[in-house]
Chains A and B, each alone.
Chain A
Amino acid sequence: METEQLQKFILAELNNLGSIQDSRKLFYTPISRHLDQPNDSLVLQSSLQGLQSKEMIDYKNHETYTYTLSDEALDLIKNGSHEARVWACLSTDEGLDPKEIITKVGSTSAKVGQGRAFKQNWIKKVDNKFFKNVLDIEDVTVNNLVYIQAHNTLNDEKELSDLKKRKLIKPKKLLHFSIAKGPQYSPELITFETDLTSDMLIDGSWKNKSFKKYNFDAAGALPQGGALHPLLKVREEFRNIFFEMGFEEMPTNQFVESCFWNFDSLFVPQQHVARELQDTFYIKEPKVADVSDKEYYNKVKTTHESGGFGSIGYRAPFSEDETKRLVLRTHTTATSAQCLYRLAKQEGGFKPCKLFSIDRVFRNEAVDATHLAEFHQVEGVIADKNITLGDLIGFMEVFFKKMGMSQLRFKPAYNPYTEPSLEIFAHHDGLGKWVEIGNSGMFRPEMLAPMGLPDDVHVLGFGLSLERPTMIKYAINNIRDLVGHKVDIEQVEKSEAVRF
């Protein structure tokens, strides 16, 4: 049956009948029969869908079931139901015990038949022996099966479902349709164009064509482009904020640091707990760093051991072996220290600067939902003569406002290389509370003076993690869903643009 021919037939029938109640009653002349065969429904349905999409008709599905017999059912018809067989093997005067029944009718019939025969009072049990209870029976199961064999169905729903449960009959779903005229009904089949084409523009035929109604609920076609990673999109937003505020990017492309730059130059004491094995990745190979500027190294060493530049120092031993150990940097501040060191040494003397970096740092931490051994640190440094804490706080207000955080407060904190150290809290309107968003401070003179920076040069520093605001932005609870190889590529593709 061709769809188009069938569609024309349906439109003509609707013209004759006004509506069609049951598609099975349609007599389709090209094949000289009614459309009541199971296979007809598929072909009919696609024809009807086509007409409905043009709003020429409306149609409804109606489901019916037909039933076919299983092999077991055929056997029952031939040899009687299990219950009839059990009844037949018994007599009224001489009882049989269950074992003897099995011997006579087989275990399947005995198992099923005994219960059913009992239920219908065909048989009785005395002293664990079974007897015929009636002299005549009507084998309903077999009668029903015979009826189904002839008619493919039965009028008794309960009995049908029982036979289905017993796996004697198999249902098959049939579909037929009721059809009515739609808003765009016409007795002739109209062809609708699906889309405007170049040819139509050239020959002007678009003017006389009817166009298929467009489904405005359908999703658009997926574009073929790729996607940037959500964390790096947030990085880009941070970088833009830094650029907007006049910051120059620091060369943080150096994962391996010496303890000298990672800790000592920052005036982190050699006995500091952060330097222990459970917090820092130490390097086995290559083995030890060089000391490139011996004069600077000596100043750092002296400042730790016995002070200087107005400090009493840590008054603890300072070991050259410790300073030369190599680590994976635990913070990008190691690079900031080198930038400040170069700033002190640059030709033409000190000039104010604003520096930033966003790069990977490493901590030897146990991995869990919020900690990875690697994360990204966002860091900013501002150096100027007599720059103040008021400048730091005022700057932070502008910086974080660009990220949509307008209410800030600052808590005194401790950090070995900044004094004062200020924890930055922002009011989170959603949570209705203050949350810590970063750290900041003024670098200690014991760090800056050995580099040779003039006394009146103050250096502000601040830092935060890139992952935390990103996880909040994308409502990600597990950091492993954001960073690392276990990230779902589809999530990357779907992650929305970042606008703070």
Chain B
Amino acid sequence: MPTISVDKRELFDRLGREYSTQEFDQLCFEFGIELDEDTTEEVAELTRNNQPSEPPQLKIEIPANRYDLLCIEGIARALNVFLGRQSPPVYTAAPANHTRKLRIDSSTKDVRPFAAAAILRGVHFSPSSYASFIDLQDKLHSNLCRKRQFVAIGTHDYDTLAHTGTFTYQGTKPENIHFTPLNKDKEVDGYQLMDLYSQDKHISKFLHLIDKSPVYPTIYDSNNTLLSLPPLINGDHSKIKMSTTNIFIECTATDATKLEMVLDIICAMFSEYTEKPYEIEQVEVVNPDNTTHLTPPLQPRQIKARSSYINSCTGLTTTAAEIVGLLSKMGLPSTATGEAEYDISVTIPITRPDILHECDIMEDAAIAYGFNNLPRTFPKAYTVAAPLPINKLSDIMRREAAMAGGTEVLPLILCSRDENCAYLNRHPDELKHAVHLANPKTLEYQVVRTSLLPGLLKTIRENKHHALPIKVFETSDVAFVDQGLERKSKNERRVGGVYNDKKGSFEVAHGLLDRLLNMLAVHFLPSDTRKEAEKGYYIVESDNPTYFPGRAASIVYRPPPSDDQDNDGAFASLKSTLAHALPDSLKDLVNSRDRVIGSLGIVHPDVLNHFEIKNPCSAFEFNLQEFL
């Protein structure tokens, strides 16, 4: 959200009274802007110490969609209307003897195809209004115009330009450009211009918007004076000064809607200072296909609204007439139409492009009424609470693990590729199953983890000062690529634990695993009765490289028979994984329902070394979703 700084004295003069910081804060709060800072105290302090200071400022945070509040003119106008001190201005087209034209040449089509213009006549700037005029352009450029990508604004001293004839917006080859940029004393061509500004702190950021185009956007007057090279810089010839009284405003754009919004805002805000306030001289834009339209259009939109809808959203029982009163506080002139359903007609001024729908009217009515004055009710519907089954299962595991002496930790879900794979002695191919980020700011965030182990081991690494043994666990999600799904990825809920002590202690990790599974009514299947058992789990030696050879095992789960039907697809692949993991002598023990759900073992010394852990660890990790 943008924050703007306004002169406190000037704002209170415009509002016609003094406000204490608290009073003004309250006013802002009700209207929906936020007083961030009042520098009065700070300035007083500087003055006491005989240090230079600017007059006290109010720093105000503006909602991101209210471009009409980005300058003191707009804020004062909106608050005055809100306070009933002023009626909303009506922006009108100035009568013109002959309407100036801006012709858009088709050569702009591929670089910056849209343009619009307007003229403000008889403006008398003061130092503060002049500064505000420049500042509003900066604010718009960085917000709505997205760093000039969507729209760029140029303002000129109209009296330095040809007084008749047509302005032309065209694409010009860099070598054909002859131009003295603003505040420079030497004429340059297009290439020299790019060089000139390549090191400029401010302008260099915008060069990429056009530097690959064979033609640069240019605006000429009928004397063939090049007045602007949007979106970079104006010409020095038509430089605007504080003494300028007639202003030519041109905007060029890649987005037609935002073009209109920007020109509307500039004109609406600064037509306050024209000879006849709020009068704007339109310019006729001639499109490449010779169709024409006037800019800014100055055609207020009409939106119809229903008091029934507004009341159904707010919980009020206001009449159409009352809503008309509320909307006028928000700068929205409206009338009660007397019609049965759509009983309110609202005129949307050019300053309010944020209004898209009847719901935006409803919001303004609610703000005018005061959110904090609305009758407070309680939703009537009876609904039944329910946890997500996997979260309920997770909570069972978390409590059991903690009761068994484990400390729950909360590592990050993002990690580096190495931590997720090489550090665990895993084959690089395993990274193919991981979700990879495109634009991380650091190496720590390259992939979404596919195992809980890196986070658990990193936590142990950072807790060397803790007395041994360290017993940590986590119940959380990892993610895998799954090309069959809409989002090409799925989460998997896992339970993982690591035991760190002076010796490997396979049996400790195993003991916690036993406990957790027993609490899910899943019991160990001893090898002698394993074959005929209905349901349970066992562990078999594996060659998982994360673990110490001979101290590595796969956790094998045998679900009850009824589970089988819905898991055919997953089963086929698991069966082959399992067959691979088993030594030949054990193969005949395996029931067709058995599936590998995780791993268990003493962590390989190389893995410990990668994670800078000095003492042995035993660890386990399994997929909890098997037990849903």
Interface stretch of the complex, out of A25-33, A201-209, A227-235: A227-235
- Cβ contacts under 8 Å, B363 to chain A: 412, 419-420
Task: Tell whether A248 pairs with B489 under 8 Å between CB atoms, given A391-B315, A492-B408.
Answer: no
Cβ-closest chain B residue relative to A482: B410
The residue from B316, B390, B408, B477 contacting A255, defined by CB atoms under 8 A apart: B477
Cβ-closest chain A residue relative to B25: A434
CA distance A364 to B362 in the complex (A): 35
CA distance A183 to B356 in the complex (A): 90
- Cβ contacts under 8 Å, A460 to chain B: 379
- Cβ contacts under 8 Å, A247 to chain B: 383, 385
- Which residues of A, 474-488, contact B by the 8 Å Cβ criterion? 482-488
Interface stretch of the complex, out of A6-14, A120-128, A394-402: A394-402
CA distance A317 to B403 in the complex (A): 56
Cβ-closest chain B residue relative to A313: B356
- Cβ contacts under 8 Å, B384 to chain A: 246, 248
B530 on interface, CB distance cutoff 8 Å = no
- Which residues of A, 22-63, contact B by the 8 Å Cβ criterion? none
- Which residues of B, 330-386, contact A by the 8 Å Cβ criterion? 354, 356-360, 362-363, 366-367, 371-372, 374-386
A446 on interface, CB distance cutoff 8 Å = yes
- Min Cβ gap A422→B in Å is 6
- Which residues of A, 244-285, contact B by the 8 Å Cβ criterion? 244-258, 261, 271, 273, 277, 281-285
B182 on interface, CB distance cutoff 8 Å = no
- Min Cβ gap A400→B in Å is 13
- Min Cβ gap B498→A in Å is 11
Tell me whether A285 and B403 are in contact (CB under 8 A): no
- In order of increasing CB-CB distance, the 8 nearest A-B pairs are A412-B32, A390-B315, A388-B315, A352-B381, A414-B63, A286-B488, A485-B458, A256-B489
CA distance A290 to B482 in the complex (A): 12
- Cβ contacts under 8 Å, A328 to chain B: 414, 435, 437, 448
The residue from B354, B398, B414, B461 contacting A373, defined by CB atoms under 8 A apart: B414
Tell me whether A256 and B448 are in contact (CB under 8 A): yes
B94 on interface, CB distance cutoff 8 Å = no
Interface stretch of the complex, out of B104-112, B463-471, B586-594: B463-471
Interface string of A299-322 (1 = CB under 8 A from B): 000000001011111111100000
- Cβ contacts under 8 Å, B535 to chain A: none
- Min Cβ gap B385→A in Å is 4
B64 on interface, CB distance cutoff 8 Å = yes
Interface string of A148-177 (1 = CB under 8 A from B): 000000000000000000000000000000
Tell me whether A492 and B372 are in contact (CB under 8 A): no
CA distance A184 to B154 in the complex (A): 99
Extra A-B contacts (13), CB below 8 Å, given A226-B407, A391-B377, A489-B472: A226-B406, A248-B385, A251-B388, A254-B489, A256-B448, A282-B439, A352-B381, A354-B383, A373-B412, A393-B374, A398-B378, A412-B30, A458-B312
- Min Cβ gap A383→B in Å is 9
CA distance A362 to B385 in the complex (A): 27
Cβ-closest chain B residue relative to A383: B381
The residue from A250, A309, A354 contacting B388, defined by CB atoms under 8 A apart: A250
Tell me whether B64 and A485 are in contact (CB under 8 A): no
The residue from B65, B146, B376 contacting A397, defined by CB atoms under 8 A apart: B376
- Which residues of B, 440-496, contact A by the 8 Å Cβ criterion? 440-442, 445, 448, 455, 458-459, 461-463, 466, 470-473, 477, 479, 481, 483, 485-491, 493
Task: Tell whether A483 pairs with B410 under 8 Å between CB atoms, given A256-B448, A412-B371, A458-B312.
Answer: yes
9 contacts between A and B (CB under 8 A): A250-B388, A255-B477, A281-B445, A283-B438, A326-B488, A328-B448, A364-B441, A393-B374, A422-B371
Tell me whether A489 and B435 are in contact (CB under 8 A): no
The residue from A254, A289, A414, A484 contacting B65, defined by CB atoms under 8 A apart: A414
Cβ-closest chain B residue relative to A483: B410
- Cβ contacts under 8 Å, B489 to chain A: 254-256, 283, 286, 326
Tell me whether A411 and B487 are in contact (CB under 8 A): no
Tell me whether B402 and A389 are in contact (CB under 8 A): no
CA distance A307 to B255 in the complex (A): 16
**A contact set with B: CB distance below 8 Å:** 224-229, 231-232, 236, 239, 242-258, 261, 271, 273, 277, 281-292, 307, 309-317, 326, 328, 352-354, 360, 362, 364, 366-367, 372-374, 382, 384, 386-391, 393-395, 397-398, 409-414, 416, 419-420, 422, 442, 444-446, 456, 458, 460, 482-490, 492-493
The residue from A226, A387, A444, A445 contacting B402, defined by CB atoms under 8 A apart: A226
Tell me whether A226 and B491 are in contact (CB under 8 A): no
B413 on interface, CB distance cutoff 8 Å = yes
The residue from A249, A286, A373, A492 contacting B387, defined by CB atoms under 8 A apart: A249
Cβ-closest chain A residue relative to B392: A249
Tell me whether A411 and B34 are in contact (CB under 8 A): yes
CA distance A484 to B409 in the complex (A): 8
Tell me whether A242 and B466 are in contact (CB under 8 A): no
Tell me whether B313 and A388 are in contact (CB under 8 A): yes
Tell me whether A419 and B357 are in contact (CB under 8 A): yes
CA distance A145 to B575 in the complex (A): 89
Task: Tell whether A225 pairs with B403 under 8 Å between CB atoms, given A390-B315, A445-B359.
Answer: yes
Cβ-closest chain A residue relative to B312: A386
CA distance A328 to B477 in the complex (A): 14
Task: Tell whether A394 pairs with B380 under 8 Å between CB atoms, given A419-B359, A493-B407.
Answer: no
Tell me whether B146 and A271 are in contact (CB under 8 A): yes
- Min Cβ gap B379→A in Å is 5
Cβ-closest chain A residue relative to B431: A285
- Cβ contacts under 8 Å, B354 to chain A: 414
- Min Cβ gap B113→A in Å is 12
CA distance A382 to B385 in the complex (A): 13
- Cβ contacts under 8 Å, A291 to chain B: 486
The residue from A248, A251, A316, A390 contacting B374, defined by CB atoms under 8 A apart: A390
The residue from A225, A360, A388, A489 contacting B377, defined by CB atoms under 8 A apart: A388
- Min Cβ gap B13→A in Å is 26
Tell me whether B315 and A444 are in contact (CB under 8 A): no
Tell me whether B440 and A364 are in contact (CB under 8 A): yes
- Min Cβ gap B253→A in Å is 11
- Cβ contacts under 8 Å, B401 to chain A: 226
- Cβ contacts under 8 Å, A315 to chain B: 256-257
Tell me whether B388 and A281 are in contact (CB under 8 A): no
CA distance A286 to B371 in the complex (A): 45
CA distance A366 to B357 in the complex (A): 36
Tell me whether B413 and A390 are in contact (CB under 8 A): no
Cβ-closest chain A residue relative to B470: A489
Interface centre among A285, A313, A394 (most CB of B within 10 A): A285
- Cβ contacts under 8 Å, B471 to chain A: 226
Task: Tell whether A311 pairs with B357 under 8 Å between CB atoms, given A316-B258, A362-B414.
Answer: yes
The residue from A352, A395, A420, A492 contacting B367, defined by CB atoms under 8 A apart: A420
Tell me whether A389 and B356 are in contact (CB under 8 A): no
Tell me whether B398 and A249 are in contact (CB under 8 A): no
- Min Cβ gap A256→B in Å is 4
Tell me whether B360 and A486 are in contact (CB under 8 A): no
- Min Cβ gap A335→B in Å is 11
- Cβ contacts under 8 Å, A386 to chain B: 312
Cβ-closest chain B residue relative to A458: B313
Interface centre among B1, B316, B363, B390 (most CB of A within 10 A): B363
CA distance A315 to B255 in the complex (A): 9
Tell me whether A389 and B374 are in contact (CB under 8 A): yes
Task: Tell whether A374 pairs with B413 under 8 Å between CB atoms, given A384-B379, A391-B378, A398-B378.
Answer: yes
Tell me whether A286 and B398 are in contact (CB under 8 A): no
- Cβ contacts under 8 Å, B372 to chain A: 409-410
Cβ-closest chain B residue relative to A281: B437
B436 on interface, CB distance cutoff 8 Å = yes
- Min Cβ gap A201→B in Å is 30
- Cβ contacts under 8 Å, B377 to chain A: 388, 390-391, 394
- Cβ contacts under 8 Å, A254 to chain B: 487, 489-491
Tell me whether B437 and A413 are in contact (CB under 8 A): no
Tell me whether A246 and B491 are in contact (CB under 8 A): no
Tell me whether A389 and B312 are in contact (CB under 8 A): no
Tell me whether B315 and A389 are in contact (CB under 8 A): yes
